[in-house]
C-alpha cells in the first residue's frame, strides 16, 4: 500500500526521538568544554621531546642525529646540531640540538619521527587544545616548548612508556656493564703495570655510575 | 463572570477595554488595530519558538542535542539568530533588479499576514468574520507565489530562477487539491465563513467531539489537505524550491541578512496559517477534544493544536527524503486530484444517505479502495517496488 | 549478468527540444553537494540535463610526485589522505604493493588484523555513503546522523588501535605498526554484534520508503557493458550485475579463508547501489565475526622489514585491493634507491566518476546530485 514504507520510517524516527531521551547509546554527544571523554591511551597528535632528570635542556635525549628531520613526510622539523658535545642519558658524549623546531601547522601527526628515532627521544603528545592567535610564530614550537619530562610521557602513554623505559634501562645496564668491564680491565692493567693499591680500581666504576 | 469563561475571553475583553479608552467614533478602528497588533505579535512569537523547537526536535530525531548554548537549554537561540541576521551584510547582486529584489520578501510577509485575518484563534477571536472567509484565505495564499517568483527572477541567479520555476509550478498545481479538499467542508457546513465552520464542529457525542476529521470524507480530506499544505508551504518532503542539495537555496540563494530572515519568517508564517486552517476545517478549530475539557480556554486549544501540527511537520521533515519535480507534478495531478474529486462525491453521498451506520461503511470502503488501487497503479506504472537481490559466492 | 535484466532500460533523450533555451549551470566548485570541490558544467533544457562536463583537479596535491621524492615509508601517511574515509584500506593497498616489490612476508596475525580493520573501514564507509546519498536526497540529515553515530564507535576503535581516528597510518611493509591493545578485540566483538541492529534501523527508515523508491529506482542506470568498458569497480559495478570482487578474484591477504557472498544488483540504478552497500555491510559483519574468532597469536611484523634505510631491489609491482569504493591499486617502480622511481595510484573514485555524464544525460537536474552521490567518491582520492 502506498505510504506503508513512509509510516515505517516515521515509526523509526519516533523511536529515535524518544530513545534519545532515555538511552545513552542513542545520544552519544558529549558537551565538550564541560565534559570530556576519557583519554584513549594510543591517541597521538603532535610530537614532543623527552628529557630525563630535572633540567629540561640538559636532559634532552635528542642527539641531533637529524633522522627525523630527513624522514618527516611534510618536512616540518628543523634541527641545528651543536658544535660541542655533552653526555647523553647513558653517559656517552653526544651532540645535542641547539635548535629543534617543529612547525605544528605543517605537522600531520603521522608518528613517523617517533618510529625512526633510534634514541626514544621524540614521542607523540595527546594535547590538542593548541589554538593560538598567532598563525605563524605561535605554531612554530621550539625546543623549550617541545621538551617534556619522561614522567609526563609515563602519564599519557603508560603502557608504551613502560616498554620504552624497560628497554632503556636494559640498554643502560648493558652500557654500564661494558663500561665496568672496560674500567676493570683498565684497572687491572694499571695494577699490573704500576702495582698500585686496589682502591683506585674500586673507585673508578663509581665515578662512571654517577654519569660524569 | 466566573473564572474560566473570563479566561476564555480575556483577550477579547482586553481589546474592548483598550478600545473603550478612546472616543466612540474611533473605537472600531482602535479595536482593529489592537487585534492586528495581537496577531503581528503572537505569530512571530510562535515563529521564534518554532525555530528553536524545530532545531531541537530534529536534533533529537537525529540523536543529537540541538542548540543548547544560548540561554537556558538554548531557548534564547532565536534572539541570537535575530541579532545575527540583523547585523549581517545585506548583499544585493550587481546585476539584480534591486527594487524587485527588495520587494519580494516584504510582499511575502505581508501576504502571509493577511491570511491570519480570517483565522479564528479562539471563541470570538477572529479579526474579520466575513462570509467568504475561506475564499479570502485562498485568494491571499495564492499571492505568495508572486513574491517567490519575484525573488527568483530578480536575483539573476540560475539556481534562484530554477527554484522560482519549481516553486510556481508546484504551488499552482497544489492550489487545486488544496481547494478541492476543503470544499467538502463547505459542502457539509453550508458556509464559507470560518467561524461558522468551527461552530458546526462544536457538538459532542458522549465525550467525543463532532470534528470533521472523524468522518470518512473528513479524514480523507484532512490527509489530502495536509499533503497539499506541505507542498504549498514548501515543507519537506516537498521542499524542492529550496532543495538545498540541488539548488543551493533555491529562490532565496541571493538573499542575506534581514531579507533572508524575512523569507524565513514568511515561510513559517505560511506554515502556521495553513496549519491553522487545517485545524479550523477538520480539527474543530478552537474546540476542546473531549467534552469534559471544555473549561480550558478556547485559544489555548487552538495554539496547542497548532503546536501539535507543527511538531508533526517537523517529524515529517526529519524522516522524508525529497521528491523530484516531475514526480511531484505526477502526484498532484494523478493522485491528489482524483482523490479529492472522489472525496467530493463521497461527501455528497454522505449527506444524501442520512444517519445510520451504512454511510460509514460505504464511504470508508469507497475511499480506501480508491486509495489502494490508485496507489498501486501509480507504483506499478513507474516500475517501483521492493526488490530482491542475488548473491554470487 | 542476465540478458533480461536491463530490458526496462531505455536510453534517455538527450537532444534539446529546439527552442534554443539551454541553461548552462556551473554546479560547483562551491555547491553544497559536490562532496568537496568538484565542478559539473551542466547544460539544462528546462530541468533536463543535455550535457554534463565534470571538472576535476581543485584538490590536486601532487601526491604522486611527492611520493617519488620521499622515502617509501614517508608516503604511507599520505595514503591516508587519499580517501580519508578509508585510510586503513589505503594503507593496506600501498603496503601490499611495497611488500610485493620487496618480497616481504606478512605474519599470520598481521593479516588477520588487516582484514579486521579493512572490514571495519568498509562498514563505516558504506554507512556514511548511504547517509550522504540520503542527504543529497533531502532527508535533513537523519540517516547521515544515524550512520555517523555508528561510525563514531568504529572510529573510537581505530583511535584506540592506531592513535588516530581518520589518518590511521597503521600498516607497515611486512605487517602492522603496533600490537592490538588489551581488550580491543572484545570491544570489536561488541560493536560488530550491535551493528546489524543499526542496519535494520536504516533499512526500516529507508528501504521501503516510497519517496526513496521513486527517486532512486530506474534513475542513473549504468549498463554492465558500459561499466566493464569504463573500468568501473566496487559496489557500482556489482550494482550493475557484474560479479567482480577483488577479494574473490585475487584472494589477496587471507580472504580465501573466509566465507562470504557477493551481492549483485539487476538494474544498475541508484537504488541498487544503495541496496548493494547495505547488503555488503551485512557480509562484512560475517567476515569480521570469522576473523575475530580465528585470529592467532604471534608476531605482527616480518623481521626482514626495516624502518630506517628501506631499499627494495630494482623492479616493479602493482598491489591492489577491494577498497570500499572499488579497486584501489598502487603501482611502484623501484630503482634500488630509498625512494620509488615511479609511484602511481589507481583511485576508484576517479575512475568511477568517468561514467557520470553517461548516467546523467537525459535525467533531471535534481537527479544529477543523486547520481553523483550514489557513485560515492571522496575528492581527496579523485584529485590526489
pLDDT of residue A212: 39
Mean pLDDT of the region A92-112: 85
Chain B residue numbers with beta carbons less than 8 Å from the beta carbon of A19 are 63
Cβ <8 Å between B320 and A6: yes
pLDDT of residue A42: 86
Mean pLDDT of the region C86-112: 89
pLDDT of residue C14: 61
Is residue C6 over pLDDT 70? no
pLDDT digits (tens, 9 = 90+) for B220-257: 889 999 999 888 888 878 887 777 777 777 788 888 88
CB distance C331 to C342 below 8 Å:
yes
Contacts of A75-78 with CB under 8 Å at 24 or more apart are A75/A106, A76/A102, A76/A103, A76/A104, A76/A106, A76/A107, A77/A101, A77/A102, A77/A113, A78/A102, A78/A103
Measure the CA–CA gap between C120 and C155, rounded to whole angstroms. 9
Name every residue whose Cβ is closer than 8 Å to that of residue B161 and which is 6 or more positions away in sequence.
B152, B153, B155, C23
CB distance A62 to A97 below 8 Å:
yes
Measure the CA–CA gap between A22 and B321, rounded to whole angstroms. 27
Alpha-helix runs per DSSP H in C221-269:
224-230, 235-239, 246-249
Q: Does C264 touch chain B (CB under 8 A)?
A: yes
Name every residue whose Cβ is closer than 8 Å to that of residue C186 and which is 6 or more positions away in sequence.
none
Q: Does B162 touch chain C (CB under 8 A)?
A: yes
Cβ <8 Å between A12 and B319: yes
Beta-bridged to residue B125, according to DSSP, are B122
Sign of the dihedral defined by the CA atoms of residues B88, B93, B98, B101, in that order: negative
pLDDT of residue A86: 75
pLDDT of residue B19: 78
Chain A residue numbers with beta carbons less than 8 Å from the beta carbon of C70 are 73
CA dist list (Å): A29 to A105, B248, C129, C166, C258: 28, 29, 22, 19, 36
Is residue B301 over pLDDT 70? yes
pLDDT of residue A88: 65
Residue indicated by cell numbers 526513496: C212
Chain B residue numbers with beta carbons less than 8 Å from the beta carbon of A28 are 63
Beta-bridged to residue C342, according to DSSP, are C333
Which has the closest alpha carbon to C319: C63, C96, C66? C96
Chain C residue numbers with beta carbons less than 8 Å from the beta carbon of A8 are 204-205, 208-209
pLDDT of residue A195: 67
Mean pLDDT of the region B281-293: 82
Most confident range (mean pLDDT) of A23-32, A131-140, B320-329, C156-165 is: C156-165
CA dist list (Å): B362 to B70, B216, B347: 55, 9, 11
Exposure string over C357-377, b if 16+ CB within 10 A, otherwise e: bbbbbbbbbbbbbbbbbbbbb
Is residue A209 over pLDDT 50? no
Give percent above pLDDT 70 in chain B. Answer: 99
Cβ <8 Å between A29 and B64: yes
Cβ <8 Å between A108 and C308: no
Which has the closest alpha carbon to C194: C145, C144, C154? C154
Cβ <8 Å between A8 and C208: yes
Mean pLDDT of the region C206-214: 87
- When scoring C39, C213, C214 by the number of chain B Cβ atoms within 10 A, the one with the most, hence best to mutate, is C214
- Half-sphere CA count of C108, side-chain side, radius 13 A: 7
Q: Does A40 touch chain C (CB under 8 A)?
A: yes
Q: Is the peptide bond before C303 cis (omega within 30 degrees of 0)?
A: no
CB distance B225 to B185 below 8 Å:
no
Q: Does C164 touch chain A (CB under 8 A)?
A: yes
pLDDT digits (tens, 9 = 90+) for C311-357: 888 889 998 899 899 899 999 999 888 888 989 999 898 898 888 88
- When scoring C80, C139, C209 by the number of chain A Cβ atoms within 10 A, the one with the most, hence best to mutate, is C209
Between these two residues, A179 and A201, which has the higher pLDDT value?
A179
Between these two residues, A196 and C233, which has the higher pLDDT value?
C233
pLDDT of residue C11: 60
Is residue B393 over pLDDT 60? yes
pLDDT of residue C279: 92
Locate B217 and state its grid cell.
470524507
Is residue C55 helix, strand or coil? Answer: strand
Cβ <8 Å between A42 and C308: no
Select the residue of B318, B325, B385 nearest C366 (Cβ to Cβ). Answer: B325
Q: Does B322 touch chain C (CB under 8 A)?
A: yes
CB distance C199 to C150 below 8 Å:
no
Find how far residue B55's CA is from the centre of its chain: 19
Read off the pLDDT band of B347 (50, 70, 90).
confident
Is residue A199 over pLDDT 70? no
- When scoring B58, B60, B331, B334 by the number of chain A Cβ atoms within 10 A, the one with the most, hence best to mutate, is B60
Select the residue of A42, A111, A124 nearest C181 (Cβ to Cβ). Answer: A42
CB atoms within 10 A of CB B135: 15
Read off the pLDDT band of A206 (50, 70, 90).
very low
> Which DSSP string corresponds to C118-141?
HHHHHHHHHHHHHHHHHHHTT-TT
Give percent above pLDDT 70 in chain C. Answer: 95
**Residue of chain B whose alpha carbon sits nearest to that of A2:** B375
Q: State the Cα angle at C139 between B245 and B247, rounded to 5°.
A: 15
Touching partners of A (3+ C-beta pairs < 8 Å): B, C
Mean pLDDT of the region B170-186: 87
Cβ <8 Å between C208 and A42: no
> Which DSSP string corresponds to A6-55?
HHHHHHHHHHHHHHHHH-TTT-----TTT--PPPPTT---SEEEEE-SS-
pTM to 2 decimals? 0.85
Chain B residue numbers with beta carbons less than 8 Å from the beta carbon of C140 are 58, 62, 236, 317-318
Is residue B191 helix, strand or coil? Answer: coil
**Residue contacts between B and C (CB atoms, under 8 Å):** 130
Chain C nearest CA to B376, separation (Å): 11
Is residue B294 over pLDDT 80? no
Report the helix count and the strand count for chain C, using DSSP H and E: 15, 9
Backbone region of residue B8 per phi and psi (left: phi > 0; alpha: psi in -120 to 50; beta: other values): alpha
pLDDT of residue C10: 60
Q: Does C151 touch chain A (CB under 8 A)?
A: no
pLDDT of residue B283: 86
C-alpha dihedral over A116, A122, A124, A129, to 10 degrees? -140
Measure the CA–CA gap between B5 and A152, rounded to whole angstroms. 72
Q: Mean pLDDT for chain B?
A: 84
Select the residue of A71, A109, A118 nearest C167 (Cβ to Cβ). Answer: A109
Which has the closest alpha carbon to B174: B268, B261, B240? B240
Measure the CA–CA gap between C222 and C93, rounded to whole angstroms. 27
> Which DSSP string corresponds to B331-359?
IIIIIIHHHHHHHHHHHHHHHHH-SSHHH
Measure the CA–CA gap between B207 and A10, rounded to whole angstroms. 30
Mean pLDDT of the region C23-27: 82
Is residue C7 over pLDDT 70? no
CB distance B338 to B375 below 8 Å:
no
Select the residue of C207, C264, C272 nearest B391 (Cβ to Cβ). Answer: C264
pLDDT of residue C20: 63
Exposure string over C313-342, b if 16+ CB within 10 A, otherwise e: eeeebebbbbbbbbbbbbbbebeeebbbee
Chain A residue numbers with beta carbons less than 8 Å from the beta carbon of B374 are 2
Between these two residues, C7 and A119, which has the higher pLDDT value?
A119
Alpha-helix runs per DSSP H in chain C:
63-69, 76-80, 87-102, 108-136, 142-162, 184-206, 210-216, 224-230, 235-239, 246-249, 270-294, 348-353, 356-360, 365-375, 379-383
Q: Does B1 touch chain C (CB under 8 A)?
A: no
pLDDT of residue B35: 82
Is residue A207 over pLDDT 70? no
Touching partners of B (3+ C-beta pairs < 8 Å): A, C
Query: Which DSSP letter does residue A97 get?
Result: E
Pairing of strands A47-51, A122-124: antiparallel
- When scoring C31, C152, C366, C371 by the number of chain B Cβ atoms within 10 A, the one with the most, hence best to mutate, is C366
CA dist list (Å): B121 to B73, B278, C185, C200, C333: 29, 12, 61, 44, 78
Mean pLDDT of the region C139-167: 88
Mean pLDDT of the region C62-87: 88
Task: Give the CA diameter of chain B.
Answer: 91
pLDDT of residue C17: 62
Range name among A45-54, B259-268, B296-305, C26-35 with the lowest pLDDT average: C26-35
Name every residue whose Cβ is closer than 8 Å to that of residue A122 and which is 6 or more positions away in sequence.
A47, A48, A49, A50, A62, A68, A113, A114
Q: Does C269 touch chain B (CB under 8 A)?
A: no
Backbone region of residue C141 per phi and psi (left: phi > 0; alpha: psi in -120 to 50; beta: other values): left
Contacts of B69-75 with CB under 8 Å at 24 or more apart are none
Cβ <8 Å between A159 and C146: no
Measure the CA–CA gap between C215 and C220, rounded to whole angstroms. 10
Q: State the Cα angle at A160 between A157 and A163, rounded to 5°.
A: 140
Backbone angles phi and psi of B204, in degrees to 5: -130, 145
Is residue A77 helix, strand or coil? Answer: strand
pLDDT of residue C2: 46
Is residue B354 over pLDDT 80? no
Mean pLDDT of the region C264-276: 89
CB distance B103 to B110 below 8 Å:
no
Residue indicated by cell numbers 547585523: B87
pLDDT of residue C126: 92
Most confident range (mean pLDDT) of A37-41, A206-210, B349-353, C264-268 is: C264-268
- When scoring B158, B166, B317, B324 by the number of chain C Cβ atoms within 10 A, the one with the most, hence best to mutate, is B324
Chain C residue numbers with beta carbons less than 8 Å from the beta carbon of A118 are 308
Chain C nearest CA to B328, separation (Å): 10
Is residue A205 over pLDDT 60? no
Which has the closest alpha carbon to B166: B108, B246, B260? B246
CA dist list (Å): C63 to A113, C40, C68, C75, C125: 20, 24, 9, 8, 22
Q: H or E stretch including C330? A: strand C326-334
**Residue contacts between A and B (CB atoms, under 8 Å):** 49
CA dist list (Å): A75 to A68, A81, B357: 9, 17, 85
Mean pLDDT of the region C294-314: 83
Amino acid at each position: 500500500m502506498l505510504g506503508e514504507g513512509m509510516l515505517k520510517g516515521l515509526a523509526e524516527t519516533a523511536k529515535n526521538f524518544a530513545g534519545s531521551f532515555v538511552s545513552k547509546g542513542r545520544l552519544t554527544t558529549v558537551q565538550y568544554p564541560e565534559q570530556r571523554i576519557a583519554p584513549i591511551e594510543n591517541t597521538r597528535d603532535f610530537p614532543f621531546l623527552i628529557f630525563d632528570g630535572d633540567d629540561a635542556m640538559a636532559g634532552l635525549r635528542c642527539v641531533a642525529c637529524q633522522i627525523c628531520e630527513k624522514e618527516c613526510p611534510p618536512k616540518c622539523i628543523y634541527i641545528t646540531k651543536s658544535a660541542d658535545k655533552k653526555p647523553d642519558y647513558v653517559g656517552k658524549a653526544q651532540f645535542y640540538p641547539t635548535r629543534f623546531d617543529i612547525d605544528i601547522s605543517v605537522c600531520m601527526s603521522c608518528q613517523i619521527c617517533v618510529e625512526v628515532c633510534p634514541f626514544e627521544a621524540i614521542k607523540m603528545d595527546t594535547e590538542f587544545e593548541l589554538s593560538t592567535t598567532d598563525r605563524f610564530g605561535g605554531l612554530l614550537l621550539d625546543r623549550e616548548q617541545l621538551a617534556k619530562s619522561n614522567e609526563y610521557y609515563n602519564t599519557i602513554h603508560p603502557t608504551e612508556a613502560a616498554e620504552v623505559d624497560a628497554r632503556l634501562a636494559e640498554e643502560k645496564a648493558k652500557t654500564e656493564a661494558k663500561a665496568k668491564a672496560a674500567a676493570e680491565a683498565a684497572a687491572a692493567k694499571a695494577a699490573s703495570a704500576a702495582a698500585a693499591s686496589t682502591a683506585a680500581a674500586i673507585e673508578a666504576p663509581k665515578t662512571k655510575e654517577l654519569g660524569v | 463572570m466566573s473564572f474560566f469563561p473570563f479566561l476564555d475571553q480575556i483577550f477579547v475583553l482586553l481589546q474592548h477595554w483598550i478600545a473603550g479608552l478612546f472616543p466612540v467614533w474611533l473605537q472600531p478602528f482602535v479595536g482593529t488595530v489592537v487585534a492586528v497588533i495581537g496577531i503581528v505579535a503572537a505569530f512571530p512569537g510562535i515563529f521564534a519558538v518554532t525555530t528553536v523547537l524545530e532545531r531541537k526536535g530534529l536534533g533529537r530525531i537525529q540523536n543529537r542535542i540541538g542548540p543548547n548554548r544560548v540561554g537556558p537549554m538554548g531557548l534564547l537561540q532565536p534572539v541570537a539568530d535575530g541579532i545575527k541576521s540583523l547585523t549581517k551584510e545585506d548583499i544585493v547582486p550587481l546585476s539584480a533588479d534591486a527594487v524587485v529584489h527588495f520587494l519580494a520578501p516584504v510582499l511575502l510577509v505581508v501576504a502571509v499576514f493577511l491570511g491570519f485575518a480570517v483565522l479564528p484563534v479562539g471563541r470570538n477571536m477572529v479579526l474579520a468574520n466575513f462570509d467568504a472567509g475561506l475564499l479570502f484565505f485562498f485568494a491571499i495564499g495564492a499571492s505568495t507565489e508572486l513574491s517567490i517568483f519575484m525573488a527568483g527572477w530578480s536575483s539573476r541567479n540560475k539556481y534562484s530562477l530554477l527554484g522560482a520555476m519549481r516553486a510556481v509550478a508546484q504551488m499552482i498545481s497544489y492550489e487545486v487539491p488544496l481547494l478541492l479538499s476543503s470544499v467538502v467542508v463547505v459542502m457539509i457546513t453550508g458556509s464559507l465563513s470560518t467561524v461558522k465552520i468551527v461552530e458546526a464542529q462544536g457538538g459532542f457525542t458522549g465525550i467525543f467531539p463532532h470534528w470533521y476529521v472523524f468522518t470518512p470524507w473528513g479524514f480523507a480530506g484532512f490527509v489530502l489537505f495536509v499533503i497539499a499544505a506541505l507542498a504549498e508551504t514548501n515543507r519537506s518532503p516537498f521542499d524542492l524550491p529550496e532543495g538545498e542539495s540541488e539548488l543551493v537555496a533555491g529562490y532565496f540563494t541571493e538573499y542575506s541578512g534581514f531579507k533572508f530572515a524575512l523569507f524565513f519568517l514568511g515561510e513559517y508564517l505560511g506554515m502556521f496559517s495553513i496549519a491553522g486552517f487545517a485545524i479550523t476545517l477538520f480539527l474543530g478549530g478552537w474546540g476542546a477534544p473531549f467534552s469534559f475539557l471544555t473549561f480550558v480556554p478556547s485559544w489555548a486549544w487552538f495554539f496547542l493544536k497548532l503546536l501539535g501540527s507543527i511538531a508533526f511537520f517537523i517529524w515529517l521533515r526529519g524522516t522524508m527524503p525529497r521528491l523530484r519535480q516531475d514526480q511531484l507534478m505526477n502526484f498532484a495531478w494523478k493522485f491528489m486530484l482524483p482523490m479529492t474529486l472522489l472525496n467530493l462525491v463521497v461527501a455528497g453521498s454522505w449527506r444524501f444517505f442520512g444517519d445510520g451506520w451504512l454511510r460509514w461503511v460505504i464511504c470508508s470502503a469507497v475511499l480506501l479502495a480508491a486509495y489502494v488501487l490508485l496507489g498501486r497503479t501509480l507504483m506499478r506504472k513507474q516500475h517501483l517496488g521492493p526488490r530482491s537481490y542475488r548473491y554470487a559466492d | 549478468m542476465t540478458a533480461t535484466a536491463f530490458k526496462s532500460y531505455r536510453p534517455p533523450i538527450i537532444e534539446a527540444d529546439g527552442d534554443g533555451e539551454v541553461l548552462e549551470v556551473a554546479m560547483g566548485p562551491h555547491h553544497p553537494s559536490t562532496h568537496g570541490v568538484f565542478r559539473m558544467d551542466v547544460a539544462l533544457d528546462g530541468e533536463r540535463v543535455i550535457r554534463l562536463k565534470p571538472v576535476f583537479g581543485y584538490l590536486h596535491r601532487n601526491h604522486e610526485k611527492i611520493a617519488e621524492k620521499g622515502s617509501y615509508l614517508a608516503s604511507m601517511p599520505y595514503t591516508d589522505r587519499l580517501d580519508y574515509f578509508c585510510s586503513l584500506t589505503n594503507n593496506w593497498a600501498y603496503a601490499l604493493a611495497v611488500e610485493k616489490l620487496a618480497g616481504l612476508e606478512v605474519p599470520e596475525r598481521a593479516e588477520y588484523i588487516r582484514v579486521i580493520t579493512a572490514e571495519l573501514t568498509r562498514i563505516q564507509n558504506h554507512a556514511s555513503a548511504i547517509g550522504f546519498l540520503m542527504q543529497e536526497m533531502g532527508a535533513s540529515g537523519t540517516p547521515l546522523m544515524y550512520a555517523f553515530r555508528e561510525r563514531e564507535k568504529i572510529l573510537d576503535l581505530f583511535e584506540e588501535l592506531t592513535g588516530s581516528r581518520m589518518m590511521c597510518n597503521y600498516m607497515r611493509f611486512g605487517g602492522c605498526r603496533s600490537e592490538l591493545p588489551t581488550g580491543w578485540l572484545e570491544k570489536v566483538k561488541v560493536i560488530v554484534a550491535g551493528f546489524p541492529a543499526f542496519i535494520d534501523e536504516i533499512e526500516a527508515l529507508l528501504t521501503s520508503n516510497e519517496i526513496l523508491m521513486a527517486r532512486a529506482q530506474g534513475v542513473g542506470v549504468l549498463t554492465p557493458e558500459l561499466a566493464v568498458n569504463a573500468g568501473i569497480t566496487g559496489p557500482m559495478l556489482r550494482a550493475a550485475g557484474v560479479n567482480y570482487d577483488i577479494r574473490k578474484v585475487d584472494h589477496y591477504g587471507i580472504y580465501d579463508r573466509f566465507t562470504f557472498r557477493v551481492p549483485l544488483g539487476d538494474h544498475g540504478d541508484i537504488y541498487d547501489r544503495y541496496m548493494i552497500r547495505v547488503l555488503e555491510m551485512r557480509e562484512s559483519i560475517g567476515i569480521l565475526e570469522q576473523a575475530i574468532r580465528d585470529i592467532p597469536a604471534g608476531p605482527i611484523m616480518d623481521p626482514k622489514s626495516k624502518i630506517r634505510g628501506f631499499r627494495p631491489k630494482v623492479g616493479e609491482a602493482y598491489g591492489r585491493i577491494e577498497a570500499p569504493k572499488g579497486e584501489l591499486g598502487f603501482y611502484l617502480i623501484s630503482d634500488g634507491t630509498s625512494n620509488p622511481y615511479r609511484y602511481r595510484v589507481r583511485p576508484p573514485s576517479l575512475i568511477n566518476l568517468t561514467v557520470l555524464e553517461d548516467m546523467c544525460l537525459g535525467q533531471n537536474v535534481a537527479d544529477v546530485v543523486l547520481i553523483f552521490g550514489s557513485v560515492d567518491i571522496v575528492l581527496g582520492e579523485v584529485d590526489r
